[in-house]
Structure 1
Amino acid sequence: MTILDDAIGLVSPAWKAARLRSRAVIRAYEAVTPTRTHKARRENRSANQLSQMGAVSLREQARHLDNNHDLVIGVFDKLEERVVGSKGIIVEPQPLLTSGRIAEKLAADIRKKWAEWSVSPEVTGQYTRPVMERLMLRTWLRDGEVFGQLVSGNAAGLEPSAGIPFWIEALEPDFVPMTSDEASGMNQGVFLNDWGRPKKYQVYKSLPVSGRQFDTKEIDAANMLHLKFTRRLHQIRGTSLLSGVLIRLSALKEYEDSELTAARIAAALGMYIKKGDGQSYEDGGTGSEADDRELNIQPGMLYDDLLPGEEIGMIKSDRPNPNLETFRNGQLRAVAAGSRVSFSSASRNYNGTYSAQRQELVESTDGYLILQDAFIAAVTRPVYRAWLKMAIASGQIVLPRGVDMDSLYNAVYAGPVMPWIDPVKEANAWKTQIRGGAATESDWVRASGRNPDDVKRRRKAEIDENHKQGLVFDTDPANDKGGTSAEATKPGEPPPESERRKK
């Protein structure tokens, strides 16, 4: 109680009791009370206020680390591999007929044109679709967001790819200014309606340079991709994935640089000659014979040129620091926890048993799939649907009769899946799931990062060619009799003696 409480109690005991009860309720949570050891730091600003103040600085720091820090480069490289992969996001068209069956010919035509267009999908013509998707993913996670303008129809200076007048202009977040104008409803370069839905974006016509002004244009939200990394609702612009680990990463780099410098100094062998007391030798001045002595070090050497009272000592070296790796691994575990990657991937340390590695892989895969789903929803799906619309409008894809128009844009989107640690165990697990009805053959093929239709088509062509050439291999289950390939039956020949005895 305070003096104020005592004074209030003289006037109104009920008021004093209410104050004491309220104070007891507040202090029921120790975390809300600042103390000498607990600062109780709080954040009461909105997500947009935080972005306005720090988004640009965060992405510039992240870019610096992505240019100069090997660990950060490795983190983003691994995220590229596990979220988008080498082949990009695989799109499998699934249009249906009115009978409910898949329109196979239409799906094949769409796949063919999509593959041709994917060779040069963006306005500069420098990147294939997988490369463009990996760059957009890296920009999204490093800078916090990435933009992309959908360009349709005839455009000056652009040649249709695969005969389809449709391109993507990928844009870094610098192209959209962080300016606001309440009168026009623009907040951080984005025009919003009363519900907070983006209507259009203000975009620089060329990459802005500090100190120079550039013309801007407005792009309708229907023609703009905006993939942002957010941790709060109502956040208009994104923040870097590394926002929570930037300080740790920067400090770790400085610490490792200091340790490396110390190790380099320690690696330069240093020795000294300990003199006796002042009376045990004469000061010969500079240029004396004692000052010109040299020590040639070789195995098994003996040095007997010391003067009375002298002895040779070696400067002690305690570098490299034997605890550096342990400390570094601890820091990397914290970095991995805040960046959705596994510790093994961040540190490239793959020690451990099969069970431990698989447990880590399973847990980290969910994080990759979350990022993958966000990328597909904001980039791949709208790009595919807008592309298909233009492909049909340009006559490159003709719709057959009997197509269910409501299912025209149906597709399965698949990215990299959890890799195999032990292929034999994983393959047996897939067989068990398929035989039990819990999975399909297509799921198995997609799990290896391939297209099921392409695999089946190549497989059938391979088996047909083997039969045509009279080649028999036990890789074809029809020829596998449970023994070696030498016991397999060739087409048109009677079964081997071992099989006849079994019958």
Structure 2
Amino acid sequence: MARKTGEEMGLYERLLINVAPRFYMRRLQAMSAANVFKRRYEGAAKGRRTEGWVAHGSSANSEIGKDFQTLMFRSRDLLRNNAWARQAQRVIRNNVVRYGIVAELKGQNQKALKKRQKLWCSWAESIQIDADGQRNIYALQALAMNTIFESGSVLIRRRRRRASDNLAVPLQLQVLEPDWIDTGKTQTLDNGHKIVQGKEFNAIGQLVAYWLFDQHPGDYHHFRRYNAQSRRVDASEILHVFDSDRPEQIHGVPWLAAAMLRLRDFDELQDAKLMQQKIASCFAVLVKGTDANSVSLPKKNNGDPTLPVDSIEPGMVEYVGHNDITTVTPPDADNGTDYTRTLLREIAMSFGITAEQLTGDYSQVNFSSARMGRLEFVANVEHWQWNMLIPGFCEQVYGWFDEAARLIGEYEPVTAEWTPPAVPALDMEKEGKAIREYIRDGLMTQSEGVRRLGYDPVKFFEEYQGDLQRLDKMGIVLDTDPRKTARGGTLQAEPNDSD
């Protein structure tokens, strides 16, 4: 608080400073503290503007537990019936997974490495990996991403197999919806463990088990719903993949949650607008009579005189007597383009995608704005890849594979490095040049550059080597061969054997 001058002080204050200076200083301190108290968060103020704002201090699990199933069921309904929700799911899945997050195996023993690579390809890149026998690992990644968007999380269950099942390794994966978790099971066990919404934790808070239903609780058989019972499954057999928003959160939230009401209201608005447009196109003519005895009600198209017309159609001419003609001109339909664009932009923001990706309308963007929107979107995609799908799904699945490989005698240590698919370039010439410069400056390896394009470097360079040998054998020199031609197409100098 600024010190007052003698002119600004009142009589009472001047009297205090001379008679009771200590009391005056305590008074100043109290006034300063009161001013600080006034400068609190405006969002925490109580008054007319915030009287309807109800906020609770519930934990993440308390909030999710109450509304989890309702959000999940409504999310699925929107994805079945709402084109905008469906498009948002496709955009996120296609950009996070695209043609697959690729593993590059690494090991010291080259012979063992090649054997493990062959084993991995035989298992992971075929339908052997899928307990349903339909998808390879990349299709499972896409299915997992779809489920995370729709339901908030996905379960991957390890299914151990016998040697007689004739698989490359005795292992398969089963993708399950989070409905399989008995979220209604919350209790304290005699051994000190706690079950919270179907997940069991030990005394120090480590996840040790899941309580899963024997079958999907929403299954119906002969129009009767199953009475599913849950049982304990060790946590080492389950992967529960979701994007956490808060510490200690144990379940994911459907990604449509923030825009759920907006999407539903917008869908109803679009239906109303469509009906308004249909009404606006209904120009009709009524022929009315002046003689009361000659006037009759409009009839249905089937000619039944007892049924009056209850709707009009475009170009309809209806006789209601004679002598007088009246036109029916419906009101104009306002398409509300500006409001629609704003609403769709808000919905797109809730998903972390651009409005153009949601609508497919790029008429309002230029190269610079498209690039800025793409950079923000890429940051979201990389978060979903590196902080959710790779550590929660890809690395864990390879750990299971490595364990299964050891069971069949493959003990040599081989690790995996994962590379997500490259984001398509807006300007291939400029971005390709940037990658090339990174490699030349030592900021990126050639293998990393290949992985950014979504290819396995081992397979790529083996194929590249085979192509070069084939060209040499046929005596063909291409200007794309850096061994023999410069970038401008001129022949490189032959190496001197005496050097």
Could you say whether these structures have the same fold, taking a TM-score greater than 0.5 normalized by the shorter chain as the test?
yes
Separation in structure 2 between the aligned mates of residue 349 and residue 43 of structure 1, nearest angstrom: 40
Could you tell me which residue of structure 1 aligns to residue 209 of structure 2? Answer: 200
Question: What secondary structure does 1:346 align onto?
Answer: helix
Q: CA deviation at 1:274?
A: 8.2
Q: CA deviation at 1:338?
A: 1.5
Asked if 1:361 corresponds to 2:374, the answer is yes
Question: What secondary structure does 2:483 align onto?
Answer: helix
Separation in structure 2 between the aligned mates of residue 467 and residue 77 of structure 1, nearest angstrom: 45
Do the aligned partners of 1:180 and 1:188 also contact (CA within 8 Å) in 2?
A: yes
Could you tell me which residue of structure 2 aligns to residue 221 of structure 1? Answer: 235
| Residue in structure 2 matching 1:29, options 41, 44, 64 | 41
Separation in structure 2 between the aligned mates of residue 190 and residue 45 of structure 1, nearest angstrom: 19
Asked if 1:240 corresponds to 2:246, the answer is no
Asked if 1:94 corresponds to 2:106, the answer is yes
How big is each residue's C-alpha offset from its partner over 1:75-124, in whole Å with a ceiling of 9 and x where there is no partner?
111111111122x22111122x3xxxxx4333332222111112121222
Question: What secondary structure does 2:248 align onto?
Answer: coil
Q: CA deviation at 1:358?
A: 1.6
| Residue in structure 2 matching 1:171, options 173, 176, 180 | 176
Q: Which sits farther off after the overlay, 463-472 or 63-72?
A: 463-472
Could you tell me the percent identity over the aligned residues?
A: 22
Asked if 1:468 corresponds to 2:473, the answer is yes
| Residue in structure 1 matching 2:273, options 253, 259, 268 | 259
Could you tell me which residue of structure 2 aligns to residue 187 of structure 1? Answer: 196
Do the aligned partners of 2:93 and 2:146 also contact (CA within 8 Å) in 1?
A: yes
Asked if 1:144 corresponds to 2:152, the answer is yes
Do the aligned partners of 1:274 and 1:311 also contact (CA within 8 Å) in 2?
A: yes
Residues 329-368 of structure 1 aligned to structure 2 (within 5 Å): 329-351=341-363, 352-368=365-381
Separation in structure 2 between the aligned mates of residue 341 and residue 56 of structure 1, nearest angstrom: 25
Could you tell me which residue of structure 1 aligns to residue 15 of structure 2? Answer: none
Question: What secondary structure does 2:241 align onto?
Answer: strand
Separation in structure 2 between the aligned mates of residue 250 and residue 474 of structure 1, nearest angstrom: 57
Separation in structure 2 between the aligned mates of residue 201 and residue 160 of structure 1, nearest angstrom: 29
Question: What secondary structure does 1:218 align onto?
Answer: strand
Do the aligned partners of 1:472 and 1:488 also contact (CA within 8 Å) in 2?
A: no
The one-letter amino acid paired with 1:149 is: R
Separation in structure 2 between the aligned mates of residue 30 and residue 354 of structure 1, nearest angstrom: 39
Could you tell me which runs of 5 or more consecutive residues in structure 1 were left unpaired when the two chains were aligned: 1-13, 98-102, 299-305, 400-407, 492-503
Q: CA deviation at 1:73?
A: 0.9
Asked if 1:61 corresponds to 2:66, the answer is no
Q: CA deviation at 1:247?
A: 1.1
How big is each residue's C-alpha offset from its partner over 1:119-161, in whole Å with a ceiling of 9 and x where there is no partner?
1212221222212221111112221111122123539xx8242
Question: What secondary structure does 1:475 align onto?
Answer: coil
How big is each residue's C-alpha offset from its partner over 1:55-85, in whole Å with a ceiling of 9 and x where there is no partner?
1111111111111111111111111111112
Q: CA deviation at 1:203?
A: 0.8
TM superposition score normalised by structure 1: 0.78
CA change 1:77–1:160 in 2 (3 A) is farther
Separation in structure 2 between the aligned mates of residue 133 and residue 416 of structure 1, nearest angstrom: 12
Corresponding residue pairs, total? 434
Could you tell me which residue of structure 2 aligns to residue 49 of structure 1? Answer: 62
Separation in structure 2 between the aligned mates of residue 209 and residue 361 of structure 1, nearest angstrom: 39
Residues 42-441 of structure 1 aligned to structure 2 (within 5 Å): 42-86=55-99, 88-95=100-107, 97=108, 103-118=109-124, 119=126, 120-154=128-162, 159-162=165-168, 164-178=169-183, 179-183=185-189, 185-209=194-218, 212-267=226-281, 269-273=282-286, 281-286=290-295, 310=324, 313-319=327-333, 321-324=334-337, 326-351=338-363, 352-373=365-386, 374-395=388-409, 397=410, 399=412, 408-441=413-446
CA change 1:167–1:424 in 2 (3 A) is same
CA change 1:358–1:274 in 2 (3 A) is same
Do the aligned partners of 1:362 and 1:418 also contact (CA within 8 Å) in 2?
A: no
Separation in structure 1 between the aligned mates of residue 139 and residue 402 of structure 2, nearest angstrom: 21
Q: CA deviation at 1:171?
A: 1.6
Do the aligned partners of 1:472 and 1:489 also contact (CA within 8 Å) in 2?
A: no
Separation in structure 2 between the aligned mates of residue 445 and residue 234 of structure 1, nearest angstrom: 38
Do the aligned partners of 1:472 and 1:490 also contact (CA within 8 Å) in 2?
A: no
Do the aligned partners of 1:385 and 1:409 also contact (CA within 8 Å) in 2?
A: no
Could you tell me which runs of 5 or more consecutive residues in structure 2 were left unpaired when the two chains were aligned: 1-25, 220-224, 302-313, 316-320, 495-499
Separation in structure 1 between the aligned mates of residue 31 and residue 46 of structure 2, nearest angstrom: 20
Could you tell me which residue of structure 1 aligns to residue 458 of structure 2? Answer: 453
Separation in structure 2 between the aligned mates of residue 203 and residue 71 of structure 1, nearest angstrom: 33
TM superposition score normalised by structure 2: 0.79
Q: CA deviation at 1:314?
A: 5.0
Question: What secondary structure does 2:188 align onto?
Answer: coil
Separation in structure 1 between the aligned mates of residue 433 and residue 71 of structure 2, nearest angstrom: 46
Question: What secondary structure does 1:313 align onto?
Answer: strand
CA change 1:409–1:350 in 2 (3 A) is farther
Separation in structure 2 between the aligned mates of residue 149 and residue 307 of structure 1, nearest angstrom: 77
Q: CA deviation at 1:435?
A: 1.8
